Amino acid sequence: MTRIAILGSTGSIGQSALAVVDAHADRLQVVGLAAGENAALLAAQIAQYRPRIAAMATGDAIDRLKQAGSTAGVTIAGSGRDGLVAVASHPDVDVVLCASSGTEALEAVLAAIEHRKTIALANKEVLVMAGGIVTEAAARYGVVILPVDSEHNAIHQCLHGRPRSEVRRLILTASGGPFRGRPASDLTSVSAADALKHPTWRMGRKITIDSATLMNKGLEVIEAHWLFGVAGNQIDVVIHPQSVVHSMVELTDGSIIAQLGVTDMRMPIQYAFSYPDRWAGPLPSLNLAKAGRLDFDEPDTSAFPCLRLAYRALDAERSLPVVLNAANEIAVALFLDGTLGFTSIARVIEQTMAAHVPAEVGTLATVRAVDLWAREHAREIARELELER
* Residue 376 scores a pLDDT above 90: yes
The structural domains of the chain, ordered by start, are: 2-123 (3.40.50.720), 152-388 (1.10.1740.10)
**Rounded distance between C-alpha atoms, residue 348 and residue 331, angstroms:** 7
Number of Cβ atoms within 10 Å of the Cβ of 302: 9
pLDDT by residue (tens digit) across 113-130? 999 999 999 988 899 999
Q: Which amino acid is at 94?
A: D
pLDDT by residue (tens digit) across 238-250? 999 999 999 999 9
pLDDT by residue (tens digit) across 43-66? 999 999 999 999 999 999 999 999
Number of Cβ atoms within 10 Å of the Cβ of 69: 9
**Rounded distance between C-alpha atoms, residue 217 and residue 174, angstroms:** 7
pLDDT by residue (tens digit) across 133-158? 999 999 999 999 999 999 999 999 99
pLDDT at 191 (0 to 100): 81
pLDDT by residue (tens digit) across 210-225? 989 999 999 999 999 9
Q: Which amino acid is at 360?
A: E
**Rounded distance between C-alpha atoms, residue 167 and residue 331, angstroms:** 36
- Beta bridge mates, 85: none
**Rounded distance between C-alpha atoms, residue 343 and residue 304, angstroms:** 8
Do residues 148 and 99 lie in contact, with contact meaning Cβ atoms separated by under 8 Å? yes
**Rounded distance between C-alpha atoms, residue 345 and residue 323, angstroms:** 14
Average pLDDT over the chain, rounded to an integer: 92
**Rounded distance between C-alpha atoms, residue 7 and residue 85, angstroms:** 10
pLDDT at 388 (0 to 100): 52
pLDDT at 387 (0 to 100): 58
Do residues 32 and 51 lie in contact, with contact meaning Cβ atoms separated by under 8 Å? yes
- CA atoms within a 13 Å half-sphere pointing along the CA-CB vector of 3: 15
Residue 205, C-beta contacts closer than 8 angstroms, at least 6 positions apart? 196, 336
pLDDT at 203 (0 to 100): 67
**Rounded distance between C-alpha atoms, residue 7 and residue 73, angstroms:** 20
Query: Which secondary structure element, helix H or strand E, spans residue 237, and what is its range?
Result: strand 235-239
pLDDT by residue (tens digit) across 155-191? 999 998 788 899 999 999 998 888 888 888 888 888 8
